[in-house]
Chains A and B, each alone.
Chain A
Amino acid sequence: MPASKTCLLVEDSRVIRKVAATIMEGLGYTCREAENGELAMQECKKAMPDFVLLDWNMQVMNGIDFLKQLRGLPNGKTPKVIFCTTQNEIAHIQEGLAAGADEYIMKPFDSDIIRSKLEMLGLIEESG
């Protein structure tokens, strides 16, 4: 059996982490969690995930700074990264993409949106 895909949920709200973890596990992913960018960097250095769901506003290190650092790591370009944030102005979206995000989710989200965005990135099969 192939090892299941891994994802890292970077998000300061424990409630949202749990919601996202439930959705991702339902899609066959194994999840790790980090409540800010700095802890997320440590997780990535331990083992690079296949996918990162990334909040923007967090204490200690925010999402955009984490993403820039991640993309600078030797194998930091491999994970697909989706921002998942209440920052929903076009300027923010552009900044997020420029920093290396592959997709962008504006909160509030639901499982349909997560599934749809993962399909776009080829991370899960189309449900049809």
Chain B
Amino acid sequence: MRQEDFDLLAGVVKQRSGLVLGRDKAYLVESRLMPLVRKWNLKDLEELSAQVRAKRDEKVMAAITEAMTTNETYFFRDLKPFDQFRKVVLPHLLKVRAAKKHIRIWSSACSTGQEAYSLAMILSEEAAKLAGWKVDIIGTDLSTEVVERAKLGIYNQFEVQRGLPVTLLIKYFQQNGDKWQINEKLREMAQFRLMNLLGDWGALGSFDVVFCRNVLIYFEPSTKTGILERISDHLAPDGVLFLGGAEAVLNLTNRFKIVDAHKGLYVPAACPADLWKAA
């Protein structure tokens, strides 16, 4: 593809999502956008680019952006954060929220919902301790398609076998041929909405736990810093942030610190160190 077309399309994607596409990613742009070219009966990427240049149509640019983002996700991804959520964070919250009996969890960049539903399954397994509590799980993503899929909670046979123990599959899903739908009770625990991490976060409110995993990795440092600092504004002083395996806060912001006793948990910098020692 022509350099000027690549630069234009990569610019649209970066402006709308934060995703940085280096010039070595031309092959990826081609393979991800050719389906759109065909769908819209265009000739090639040059014609698509010409159209973007001339009209800057919202729907077209949104579709280009969604096609370029990576939506890969699976249940209990990397396991460790979910183990820490169950063994460390949940007991901590049961203590510090004992009066309020209300926990709010945010799966930012939720993709098709596996992260949010993994948390819902953990909470259901611990239901006895949560009797009388209100728990909100909110999943947000930039892509309409994945948000709709997350709401439906329907997964194919491959998706339900990655990361998900079979005992949880038969306990929390309903089978329909080779499709599996997360049961109604769990679907009611989670809400999904369209939301761009670069845009207006509206009335998101404050959270006790934020999962922001495998999305910052695609952004440039200044974008990461901006998002991390806005997350810190939406995180309770005794709340916790989980990042992806290849993500960290070092050199990006000093609003968060690592919990020495529990590597992988990020907490507000002002949080007293001993709050998590006992956890």
A interface residue numbers (CB < 8 A to B): 88-90, 93-94, 97, 103-106, 108-110, 112-113, 116-117, 119-120, 126, 128
Find chain A residues with CB under 8 A from B162 CB.
112-113, 116
| Docked complex Cα distance between A110 and B156 (Å) | 14
Q: Are A116 and B163 in contact (CB under 8 A)?
A: yes
In this assembly, does B1 line the interface, its C-beta being within 8 Å of a C-beta of chain A?
no
Q: Mark B161-198, 1 if CB is under 8 A from A, else 0.
A: 11101110110000100100000000000000000000
Distance between A105 CB and nearest chain B CB, rounded to angstroms: 6
Main secondary structure of the interface of B (DSSP, over half): loop
Q: Are B161 and A128 in contact (CB under 8 A)?
A: no
- CB-nearest residue of chain B to A83: B166
Q: Are A93 and B158 in contact (CB under 8 A)?
A: no
Task: List 11 additional contacts besides A89-B175, A112-B162, A116-B162; criterion CB under 8 Å.
Answer: A88-B157, A88-B175, A93-B166, A93-B169, A106-B157, A108-B157, A109-B161, A113-B158, A116-B74, A116-B163, A126-B79
Q: Are A128 and B170 in contact (CB under 8 A)?
A: no
Q: Are A104 and B166 in contact (CB under 8 A)?
A: yes
Which parts of B69-102 form the interface with A (CB within 8 Å)? 74, 78-80
In this assembly, does B245 line the interface, its C-beta being within 8 Å of a C-beta of chain A?
yes
A-B contact count (CB 8 A): 39
Distance between A44 CB and nearest chain B CB, rounded to angstroms: 23
Q: Are A88 and B178 in contact (CB under 8 A)?
A: yes
Q: Are B175 and A105 in contact (CB under 8 A)?
A: no
Which parts of B99-133 form the interface with A (CB within 8 Å)? none
Find chain B residues with CB under 8 A from A90 CB.
170, 175
Find chain A residues with CB under 8 A from B170 CB.
90, 93-94
Find chain A residues with CB under 8 A from B245 CB.
128
- CB-nearest residue of chain A to B157: A106
| Docked complex Cα distance between A113 and B170 (Å) | 17
| Docked complex Cα distance between A128 and B79 (Å) | 9
Q: Determine which of B80, B161, B167 lies in contact with A116 in the assembled complex, contact meaning CB atoms within 8 Å.
A: B161
| Docked complex Cα distance between A106 and B170 (Å) | 13
Distance between B120 CB and nearest chain A CB, rounded to angstroms: 19
Distance between A115 CB and nearest chain B CB, rounded to angstroms: 9
- CB-nearest residue of chain A to B162: A116
Distance between A67 CB and nearest chain B CB, rounded to angstroms: 15
Q: Are A128 and B78 in contact (CB under 8 A)?
A: yes
